[in-house]
Amino acid sequence: MITVRPASDRGAANFGWLDSRHTFSFGNYYDPSHMGFASLRVINEDKVTPGQGFGTHGHRDMEIVTYVLDGALEHKDSLGTGSVIRPGDVQRMSAGTGIRHSEFNASNSDPVHFLQIWILPEAEGIDPGYEQISIAPETKQGQLRLVGSRDGRDGSVTIHQDVSLYATALAEGDRVEHALAPGRVAWVQVARGAVNLNGHDLTAGDGAAVSDLDTVSLTGTNEAEVLVFDMAA
Tell me the CATH number at 59.
2.60.120.10
Distance CA 93, CA 207 (A): 23
Domain that residue 35 falls in? 2-232
- Side-chain half-sphere of 139: how many Cα atoms within 13 Å? 13
Distance CA 177, CA 180 (A): 10
pLDDT at 201: 98
In this prediction, residue 100 has a pLDDT band, given cuts at 50, 70 and 90, of confident
Distance CA 209, CA 114 (A): 21
Q: Please determine, for residue 20, whether its predicted confidence score (pLDDT) is greater than 90.
A: yes
What is the percentage of the chain residues whose pLDDT exceeds 90? 85
Share the mean pLDDT of the chain.
94
List of residues 6+ apart from 155 with CB closer than 8 A: 133, 146
In this prediction, residue 193 has a pLDDT band, given cuts at 50, 70 and 90, of very high
Q: What is the pLDDT of residues 111-156, one digit of tens each?
A: 999 999 999 999 999 999 889 999 999 999 999 999 999 999 999 9
Q: Please determine, for residue 178, whether its predicted confidence score (pLDDT) is greater than 90.
A: yes
In this prediction, residue 22 has a pLDDT band, given cuts at 50, 70 and 90, of very high
- Side-chain half-sphere of 88: how many Cα atoms within 13 Å? 7
Q: Please determine, for residue 83, whether its predicted confidence score (pLDDT) is greater than 90.
A: no
Angle value at C-alpha 229, between 87 and 114, nearest 5 degrees: 25
pTM of the model: 0.95
Structural domains counted in the chain: 1
In this prediction, residue 104 has a pLDDT band, given cuts at 50, 70 and 90, of confident
Q: Please determine, for residue 60, whether its predicted confidence score (pLDDT) is greater than 90.
A: no
In this prediction, residue 79 has a pLDDT band, given cuts at 50, 70 and 90, of confident
Distance CA 100, CA 179 (A): 37
